[in-house]
Amino acid sequence: MIRLLLADDEDLVRGALTALLELEEDLVVVAEASTSTEAVRLALEHRPDIAVLDLEMPPADGLRAAEQIRAELPTRVVLVTRHARPGVLRRALAAGVRGFVPKTTPAARLAEIIRDVAAGRRYVDPDIAASALTEGDCPLTERELEVLRASRTGASISEIAAQVHLAPGTVRNYLSAAMTKLGAGSRHAAAHRAWEEGWI
Protein backbone atom coordinates (compact mmCIF):
# COMPACT_ATOMS: atom_id res chain seq x y z
CA MET A 1 0.00 0.00 0.00
CA ILE A 2 1.12 3.54 -0.77
CA ARG A 3 0.45 5.73 2.27
CA LEU A 4 -0.66 9.28 1.48
CA LEU A 5 -0.92 12.64 3.21
CA LEU A 6 -3.32 15.02 1.44
CA ALA A 7 -3.14 18.74 2.18
CA ASP A 8 -5.50 21.36 0.73
CA ASP A 9 -7.14 24.34 2.43
CA GLU A 10 -10.42 23.73 0.58
CA ASP A 11 -12.33 21.10 2.57
CA LEU A 12 -14.56 20.05 -0.32
CA VAL A 13 -11.63 19.52 -2.69
CA ARG A 14 -9.59 17.64 -0.08
CA GLY A 15 -12.55 15.45 0.94
CA ALA A 16 -13.44 14.60 -2.65
CA LEU A 17 -9.84 13.78 -3.51
CA THR A 18 -9.52 11.56 -0.43
CA ALA A 19 -12.69 9.67 -1.36
CA LEU A 20 -11.59 9.18 -4.97
CA LEU A 21 -8.02 8.10 -4.17
CA GLU A 22 -9.22 5.66 -1.52
CA LEU A 23 -11.16 3.83 -4.24
CA GLU A 24 -7.76 2.73 -5.56
CA GLU A 25 -6.84 -0.61 -3.99
CA ASP A 26 -3.16 0.26 -3.52
CA LEU A 27 -3.60 3.78 -2.03
CA VAL A 28 -4.56 4.75 1.51
CA VAL A 29 -4.90 8.28 2.93
CA VAL A 30 -3.34 8.23 6.41
CA ALA A 31 -3.72 11.96 7.15
CA GLU A 32 -5.41 15.12 5.86
CA ALA A 33 -4.30 18.72 6.47
CA SER A 34 -5.89 22.08 5.76
CA THR A 35 -2.78 24.27 6.28
CA SER A 36 0.89 24.02 5.37
CA THR A 37 1.82 24.01 9.07
CA GLU A 38 -0.55 21.12 9.76
CA ALA A 39 0.81 19.28 6.70
CA VAL A 40 4.35 19.36 8.11
CA ARG A 41 3.18 18.28 11.58
CA LEU A 42 1.10 15.38 10.23
CA ALA A 43 3.87 14.28 7.87
CA LEU A 44 6.28 14.02 10.81
CA GLU A 45 3.64 12.15 12.81
CA HIS A 46 2.45 9.69 10.14
CA ARG A 47 5.55 9.46 7.89
CA PRO A 48 3.60 8.92 4.64
CA ASP A 49 5.19 7.57 1.47
CA ILE A 50 3.78 10.46 -0.57
CA ALA A 51 2.58 13.92 0.46
CA VAL A 52 0.17 15.54 -2.02
CA LEU A 53 0.27 19.26 -1.22
CA ASP A 54 -1.71 22.22 -2.56
CA LEU A 55 0.80 24.89 -3.59
CA GLU A 56 -1.44 27.80 -2.53
CA MET A 57 -2.15 26.69 1.06
CA PRO A 58 -1.93 29.19 3.93
CA PRO A 59 -0.25 30.32 6.14
CA ALA A 60 2.94 29.79 4.13
CA ASP A 61 2.65 27.78 0.94
CA GLY A 62 2.85 24.16 -0.15
CA LEU A 63 6.38 24.61 -1.46
CA ARG A 64 7.65 25.75 1.93
CA ALA A 65 5.88 22.77 3.54
CA ALA A 66 7.46 20.49 0.91
CA GLU A 67 10.91 21.82 1.76
CA GLN A 68 10.36 21.23 5.48
CA ILE A 69 9.00 17.71 4.94
CA ARG A 70 11.85 16.78 2.58
CA ALA A 71 14.41 18.08 5.11
CA GLU A 72 13.11 15.65 7.75
CA LEU A 73 11.70 12.64 5.91
CA PRO A 74 12.18 10.40 2.87
CA THR A 75 8.55 11.22 1.97
CA ARG A 76 8.15 12.09 -1.71
CA VAL A 77 6.14 15.20 -2.53
CA VAL A 78 3.64 15.94 -5.30
CA LEU A 79 2.57 19.60 -5.60
CA VAL A 80 -0.87 20.45 -6.98
CA THR A 81 -1.57 23.97 -8.21
CA ARG A 82 -4.05 26.18 -10.03
CA HIS A 83 -1.44 28.66 -11.27
CA ALA A 84 1.95 27.21 -12.07
CA ARG A 85 4.67 29.74 -12.73
CA PRO A 86 8.04 28.64 -14.13
CA GLY A 87 10.02 29.98 -11.17
CA VAL A 88 7.92 27.97 -8.74
CA LEU A 89 8.54 24.84 -10.80
CA ARG A 90 12.29 25.42 -10.72
CA ARG A 91 12.23 25.98 -6.97
CA ALA A 92 10.07 22.88 -6.45
CA LEU A 93 12.43 20.66 -8.44
CA ALA A 94 15.41 22.09 -6.56
CA ALA A 95 13.64 21.24 -3.29
CA GLY A 96 13.26 17.61 -4.34
CA VAL A 97 9.57 17.71 -5.27
CA ARG A 98 8.88 14.65 -7.45
CA GLY A 99 5.55 15.62 -9.02
CA PHE A 100 4.05 18.89 -10.24
CA VAL A 101 0.45 18.74 -11.47
CA PRO A 102 -2.40 21.19 -12.17
CA LYS A 103 -5.63 21.01 -10.15
CA THR A 104 -7.44 20.08 -13.35
CA THR A 105 -5.78 16.63 -13.25
CA PRO A 106 -8.43 13.86 -12.97
CA ALA A 107 -8.20 11.72 -9.81
CA ALA A 108 -7.50 8.54 -11.80
CA ARG A 109 -4.55 10.23 -13.54
CA LEU A 110 -3.30 11.60 -10.21
CA ALA A 111 -3.37 8.04 -8.85
CA GLU A 112 -1.14 6.94 -11.76
CA ILE A 113 1.24 9.84 -11.11
CA ILE A 114 1.38 8.93 -7.40
CA ARG A 115 2.32 5.35 -8.34
CA ASP A 116 5.04 6.62 -10.68
CA VAL A 117 6.44 8.90 -7.97
CA ALA A 118 6.31 6.06 -5.41
CA ALA A 119 8.32 3.95 -7.89
CA GLY A 120 11.02 6.64 -7.98
CA ARG A 121 10.02 8.45 -11.16
CA ARG A 122 9.31 12.17 -11.55
CA TYR A 123 6.29 13.77 -13.20
CA VAL A 124 5.94 17.36 -14.40
CA ASP A 125 2.82 18.41 -16.27
CA PRO A 126 3.78 19.04 -19.93
CA ASP A 127 2.09 22.46 -20.09
CA ILE A 128 3.90 23.61 -16.95
CA ALA A 129 7.20 22.32 -18.34
CA ALA A 130 6.63 24.10 -21.68
CA SER A 131 5.85 27.34 -19.84
CA ALA A 132 9.09 27.03 -17.86
CA LEU A 133 11.08 26.67 -21.08
CA THR A 134 9.53 29.73 -22.73
CA GLU A 135 9.39 32.22 -19.86
CA GLY A 136 10.43 35.80 -20.53
CA ASP A 137 13.26 37.79 -19.04
CA CYS A 138 12.82 39.64 -15.75
CA PRO A 139 11.93 43.32 -16.36
CA LEU A 140 13.09 44.41 -12.89
CA THR A 141 16.42 45.91 -11.87
CA GLU A 142 18.58 44.36 -9.14
CA ARG A 143 17.54 47.10 -6.68
CA GLU A 144 13.84 46.57 -7.45
CA LEU A 145 14.28 42.85 -6.85
CA GLU A 146 16.13 43.55 -3.61
CA VAL A 147 13.35 45.70 -2.14
CA LEU A 148 10.66 43.25 -3.30
CA ARG A 149 12.55 40.39 -1.68
CA ALA A 150 12.68 42.36 1.58
CA SER A 151 8.98 43.24 1.35
CA ARG A 152 7.93 39.57 1.15
CA THR A 153 8.30 39.32 4.93
CA GLY A 154 5.58 41.95 5.44
CA ALA A 155 8.14 44.48 6.65
CA SER A 156 7.26 48.18 6.73
CA ILE A 157 8.91 50.70 4.40
CA SER A 158 11.20 51.82 7.26
CA GLU A 159 12.20 48.22 8.03
CA ILE A 160 12.88 47.50 4.35
CA ALA A 161 14.94 50.71 4.11
CA ALA A 162 17.07 49.69 7.09
CA GLN A 163 17.53 46.18 5.70
CA VAL A 164 18.66 47.28 2.22
CA HIS A 165 20.52 50.42 3.41
CA LEU A 166 18.41 52.93 1.47
CA ALA A 167 16.29 55.93 2.41
CA PRO A 168 12.56 55.19 2.88
CA GLY A 169 11.69 57.50 -0.06
CA THR A 170 14.08 55.61 -2.32
CA VAL A 171 12.51 52.30 -1.25
CA ARG A 172 9.07 53.71 -2.11
CA ASN A 173 10.34 54.73 -5.55
CA TYR A 174 11.78 51.27 -6.27
CA LEU A 175 8.61 49.55 -5.07
CA SER A 176 6.45 51.88 -7.16
CA ALA A 177 8.56 51.19 -10.26
CA ALA A 178 8.36 47.43 -9.69
CA MET A 179 4.57 47.58 -9.20
CA THR A 180 4.19 49.55 -12.46
CA LYS A 181 6.38 47.13 -14.45
CA LEU A 182 4.48 44.11 -13.11
CA GLY A 183 1.01 45.68 -13.29
CA ALA A 184 0.53 44.97 -9.58
CA GLY A 185 -1.82 46.91 -7.31
CA SER A 186 0.33 46.62 -4.19
CA ARG A 187 3.91 45.92 -3.20
CA HIS A 188 2.78 42.58 -1.75
CA ALA A 189 1.19 41.59 -5.07
CA ALA A 190 4.35 42.65 -6.92
CA ALA A 191 6.55 40.65 -4.53
CA HIS A 192 4.31 37.60 -4.89
CA ARG A 193 4.41 37.83 -8.70
CA ALA A 194 8.22 38.15 -8.64
CA TRP A 195 8.40 35.13 -6.32
CA GLU A 196 6.09 33.08 -8.56
CA GLU A 197 8.25 33.88 -11.57
CA GLY A 198 11.35 32.77 -9.66
CA TRP A 199 13.00 36.21 -9.77
CA ILE A 200 13.33 36.54 -5.99
Q: Taking the domains of the chain in order of start, what are their residue ranges?
A: 2-133, 142-196
Q: Could you tell me which CATH number the domain at 142-196 has?
A: 1.10.10.10
Q: How far apart are CA 148 and CA 199, in angstroms?
A: 10
**pTM for this structure?**
0.73
Q: How far apart are CA 71 and CA 58, in angstroms?
A: 20
Task: Please give the C-alpha separations between residue 106 and each of 40, 98, 101, 112, in angstroms, as whole numbers.
Answer: 25, 18, 10, 10
Fold annotation for 2-133: Rossmann fold (3.40.50)
Q: How far is CA 180 from the centre of its chain?
A: 25
Give the pLDDT of the chain (200 residues) as one tens digit per residue. 999 999 999 999 999 999 999 999 999 999 999 999 999 999 999 999 999 999 888 877 888 899 999 999 999 999 998 766 777 788 888 889 999 999 889 999 999 999 999 999 999 998 888 777 766 678 999 899 999 999 988 889 999 999 999 999 999 999 999 999 999 999 999 998 888 777 87
